């Protein structure tokens, strides 16, 4: 796997994409909603909901990007708006305000991939570690508490009022850390995220998560750029960085 | 000691003033600079420097507040500017660029009070915990790594581009946490900080740090408001909150 020792030696902070890279959103949400529906006596195609909901993710952020005059809406707000549309489309009935809140905050309760907590705990010994996620701050804090993600700080699109891949996110994160972009490495399972970070001078690390989208996975099976580092998972990243 | 059970039961997040409340800046800096000067062969009245430097803290933030047209300067920048002025006034000579950087980042290397790490570690089990400090993000992250402060997230004046006691800091913190002001408790050794937080609806906790300013301590020996809670230290706070 490719790596670039010269760039790696400058890195002081590791920032992580979260949805898909650190946590397994699809498996988590389908299991969570299915168990909840059985307890609560609700009927619906939860797999269809989860897949359609994630399908609405990028378009909903694009709307924020295209309409700055409307102001920034955080990801909880976008998730909530998409959910209202999708439960109608999927004819999921009988959901009250508490049910909709439970489903929306499902994104706060996602489970980590099996290597995530151990890998992050080891990486934290030598590096500043944090998410750099489109999730809002409360979502990321709640997720970290529930999943045991040992972040040093929470960096979120919400702080910068811009969603990735807007440059304000990657550069704003480096600025708040008091670091040059080349002293920050973005770790992500998505080649497009790494491309945006690399274009701005950040170091990059690809970690494949080929089951992220389940049977719908259509991309990101492998590294598609000259990334600083390519690893098999976050334990492998800790090994490679001597943690 | 006074407390208000009704308000306490709503609290989900504990935010901490840092300089003086969590870390003992005066003892830390005097010891750090004295040891460094002995190693590096520098001469100066380090106690006088530290006290004058802290004296410049509030006026330097007031300048930022009075001149928004100049843009926000973070605390590292304010500390650096004050240092340059004070080393001239105190006739401390022979300091190069690396020396000035070492002194400025002394504020990143402050030691916690003896009860801080244990108290915070216990409080983290039941509450979201973070600083709400005028220190910049990098300063707070470096301090946490060095001192072992187990924050869930870093909330800094720098994120809000406003220094405490501007309302943007307290209300911005609650907003990012997705909480109402009354679900957030500010913990501080300074009555003025608590007053500003209380006026905006936050719960408040006073912890006395009567040696913070050494022989120069002139205030904050005791609670001077109807704070939600008054504790003896952060271990006592953990006891009171059942952690």
pLDDT in tens, chain B (243 residues): 445 555 899 999 999 999 999 999 999 999 999 999 999 999 999 999 999 999 999 999 999 999 999 999 999 999 999 999 999 999 999 999 999 999 999 999 999 999 999 999 999 999 999 999 999 999 999 999 999 999 999 999 999 999 999 999 999 999 999 999 999 999 999 999 999 999 999 999 999 999 999 999 999 999 999 999 999 999 999 999 999
pLDDT of residue A7: 84
Range A208-231 average pLDDT: 97
Do the first three CATH levels of B5-24+112-240 and B26-108 match, i.e. the same topology?
A: no
Question: Cβ(A191)–Cβ(A170) under 8 Å?
Answer: no
The reply to whether residue B176 touches residue A153, judged by beta carbons under 8 angstroms, is no
d(CA B218, CA B203): 25
| Predicted pLDDT at A4 | 52
Q: Which residue of B has its CA nearest to A144?
A: B152
CA angle A211, A216, A222 (to 5 degrees): 50
pLDDT the model gives residue B141? 98
Nearest-Cα distance to chain B for A177, in Å, is 5
pLDDT of residue B178: 98
Q: What is the pLDDT of residue B4?
A: 52
Cβ–Cβ gap B153/A137 under 8 Å: yes
Kindly list the distances between the CA atom of residue B208 and the CA atoms of B21, B23, B28, B189, B230, in Å, as whole numbers in the listed order.
Answer: 8, 13, 18, 5, 8
- Closest-CA distance of chain A to residue B123, Å: 13
With an 8 Å Cβ cutoff, are A177 and B152 in contact? no
> Which ipTM was obtained for this model?
0.95
Q: Which B residues, 114 through 133, put their C-beta within 8 Å of a C-beta on chain A?
A: 128
CB-closest option in A141, A158, A178 to B128: A141
Cβ of A71 under 8 Å from any chain B Cβ? no
Query: What topology is assigned to A5-24+112-240 in CATH?
Result: Rossmann fold (3.40.50)
Say if A145 is an interface residue toward chain B (CB within 8 Å): yes
Q: Report which secondary-structure segment, H or E, holds B27.
A: helix B25-40
Residue A87 buriedness (CB in 10 A; 0-12 / 13-18 / 19+): buried
Alpha carbon distance B228, B204 (integer Å): 5
Please state the pTM of the whole predicted model.
Answer: 0.96
CA distance B70 to chain A (A): 18
Mean pLDDT to the nearest integer, A99-111: 98
Question: Rounded CA gap, B145 and A127, in Å?
Answer: 9
Q: Do A177 and B141 touch (CB under 8 A)?
A: yes
pLDDT at residue B2, rounded to an integer: 47
The pLDDT assigned to B6 comes to 54
Domain boundaries, chain B: 5-24+112-240, 26-108
Q: A22: which 2 tokens?
A: 């650190």
Indicate left, alpha or beta for A202 from its phi (over 0: left) and psi (-120 to 50: alpha). beta
Chain A residue with minimum CA distance to B160: A159
pLDDT of residue B7: 84
**How far away is chain B from the Cα of A154, in angstroms, using its nearest Cα?**
5
- Among residues B140, B137, B132, which one has the least CA distance to residue B112? B140
DSSP A189: S
* CA–CA distance, A192 with A223 (Å, rounded to integer): 10
Cβ atoms A126, A243 nearer than 8 A = yes
Q: The sheet that has A229-230: what strands, in order across it?
A: A155-156, A128-133, A13-16, A184-188, A203-206, A229-230
For residue A157, list chain B residues with Cβ-Cβ distance below 8 A.
none
Would an 8 Å CB–CB cutoff place B174 in contact with chain A?
Answer: no
Class of the domain covering B26-108: mainly alpha
């Amino acid at each position: 796997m490719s790596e670039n020792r010269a760039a790696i030696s400058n890195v002081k902070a590791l920032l992580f994409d979260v949805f898909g890279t650190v946590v397994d959103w699809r498996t988590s949400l389908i299991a969570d909603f299915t168990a909840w529906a059985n307890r609560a006596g609700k009927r619906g195609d939860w797999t269809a909901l989860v897949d359609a909901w994630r399908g609405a993710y990028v378009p909903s952020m694009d709307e924020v990007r295209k309409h700055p005059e409307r102001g920034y809406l955080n990801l909880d707000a976008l998730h909530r708006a998409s959910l209202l549309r999708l439960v109608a489309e999927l004819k999921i009935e009988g959901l009250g305000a508490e049910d909709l809140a439970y489903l929306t905050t499902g994104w706060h309760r996602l489970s980590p991939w099996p290597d995530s907590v151990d890998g992050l705990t080891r990486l934290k010994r030598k590096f500043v570690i944090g998410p750099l996620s489109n999730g809002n701050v409360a979502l990321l804090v709640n997720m970290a508490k529930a999943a045991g993600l040992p972040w040093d700080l929470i960096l979120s699109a919400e702080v910068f009022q811009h969603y990735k891949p807007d440059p304000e996110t990657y550069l704003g994160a480096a600025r708040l850390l008091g670091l040059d972009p080349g002293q920050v490495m973005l770790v992500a399972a998505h080649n497009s995220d790494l491309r945006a970070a690399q274009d701005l001078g950040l170091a990059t690390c690809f970690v494949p998560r080929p089951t992220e989208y389940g049977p719908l996975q259509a991309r990101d099976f492998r590294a598609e750029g000259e990334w600083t580092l390519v690893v098999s998972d976050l334990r492998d990243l800790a090994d490679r960085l001597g943690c």
